[in-house]
Amino acid sequence: MQKNCYELKCFIEKNKKAFYCPVTMKLVVTPSSTLSLPVFQRDFEENNAPNLTTEKECKIIINMANKCNLKCQYCFASHGTYNRTKESLLSIESARAIVKDIRAHLKTVHKLIFFGGEPLLNIQGINYICEKLSTKVKNFYIVTNGTILTDEVIQTLKKYNIFITISYDGVDNINNLYRGKGTAQKTKLFIDACLKAEISPQNLAILTVFTPEHLKQKITKTYLKEEINRLFPGITFICQEVNNTSNNLAEEFHFSQAMKQTLNDEYEANLSKALIFLDDNDNVDGLTYWPDEMFNIIRTFLFKERKINFCPDMGKQMMAYDFDGTRYVCQMFWGNDQAKHLHEDNFNAHITNLNLKENYSQCSDCWVHDFCISCVKGMGIDSKTNLCSIDDRKCKHLKNTVDKILSRLAVLYHDQEKTKRFEKKFIKNFDYQNATYFA
């Protein structure tokens, strides 16, 4: 986004005024109700934006198994095959080539994620990569369904201090309905085995796919979070709505308008509770209700995280290796037919171009430009522009949410002591979530 190509946003809350400038990503408060916008704008133009050249986190994702031992009905990856007929594990030969490629291109890897399919089907490959890259990779991660439990699996997870995200849909009957009979009990045994092996709860996260069936059983996201906290204290809870946009999933996985309204009402209620924390930093209970979106918005604001792309990870700081060793910009494009007809680098350049916000007139001068995150694959392609489709409803929702949060921050930032307490507590929470959440 070019300098001077932006909207200055003004907030007036409780007789206090503040301005947010996308160029500097600063929220400037003033006790004066007469401060004019031109004076404020000139002040920003006379001062350079802060230095934001902090080190980018480099993330590697590896498809350890183009297959899975389960047949989850809502799987975005077609049961781990990514719409391909061949089911195969990443071979040691391909793993060796990936290790060589990583060593050639990267000085340090912040996160290396074992993905699939079901990555624990290939424990030999995981051990090989961990052994070869243990001095180069800061943290290893894995995303698993938690149904493959052996002594070797537990030993490997503990030996290399791997952060583990485990799929479990919050309640046994729904988990067994969509993931397979008996899977809930196996997953719980897996979690228990990790804890008994003295793997820290802070190394564990539970990922729940939220479906219409949850709402039919009057189970809310808030209830699931509280239930997971009760069953597994200290383990991070991640809740994602079933992805019904990029796959031809059955009708039962589509939320009705009434269900969407219920989800929105719950979100607004939790957002209101979470905003209490901005008014009263000592009320830490407010953190319990923080929607992920609110967390990301405040993190972006505090750490001045520039997001020139819809997906911040896609680019030079991310590599996604398929099971045959082919390198992509994102795992969501494994098995994509376009890749078969284009040279790998050309295909990746095409996807990178779709990801760049400055290519979209709606985004280049938008004041919430740096708060916007979206999956390029999930956005779909607009046939008229040959770029990603921009969802105006999501844009409106994001602007409303950022407006609410920054309005409350504008009031908070008039009190320096309160501001310091808030930032200190948020950063502490940030460190915890950043350590456990695989993405």
H or E element that contains 164? strand 163-167
Whether the per-residue pLDDT at 334 is higher than 70: the answer is yes
Least confident residue range of 261-265, 408-412, 433-437: 433-437
- pTM score: 0.86
The torsion angles phi and psi of 81, rounded to 5 degrees, stand at -95, -15
pLDDT band at 183 (very low <50, low <70, confident <90, very high): very high
Least confident residue range of 212-221, 248-257, 334-343, 387-396: 334-343
Mean pLDDT over residues 354-361, rounded? 90
Whether the per-residue pLDDT at 37 is higher than 60: the answer is no
Q: How much is the pLDDT for 438?
A: 46
Q: How much is the pLDDT for 129?
A: 98
Which range of 153-167, 328-342, 360-374 scores highest in mean pLDDT? It is 153-167
Whether the per-residue pLDDT at 248 is higher than 50: the answer is yes
Whether the per-residue pLDDT at 246 is higher than 70: the answer is no
Question: Buried b / exposed e across 353-369, counting CB within 10 Å, b at 16+?
Answer: ebbbbeebeebeebbbb
pLDDT band at 55 (very low <50, low <70, confident <90, very high): very low
Report the mean per-residue pLDDT for the chain: 84
Q: Which residue has the higher pLDDT, 118 or 382?
A: 118
Burial class of residue 97 (count of CB atoms within 10 Å of its CB; 0-12, 13-18, 19+): middle
Question: Percentage of the chain with pLDDT > 90?
Answer: 46
pLDDT, one tens digit per residue, over 68-98 is: 999 999 998 888 999 898 899 999 999 999 9
Q: Are 115 and 62 in contact (CB under 8 A)?
A: yes
pLDDT band at 245 (very low <50, low <70, confident <90, very high): low
Q: How much is the pLDDT for 421?
A: 81
Cα-based distances in Å from 78 to 47, 67, 71, 212, 248: 52, 9, 8, 20, 10
Q: How much is the pLDDT for 249?
A: 77
Q: How much is the pLDDT for 436?
A: 45
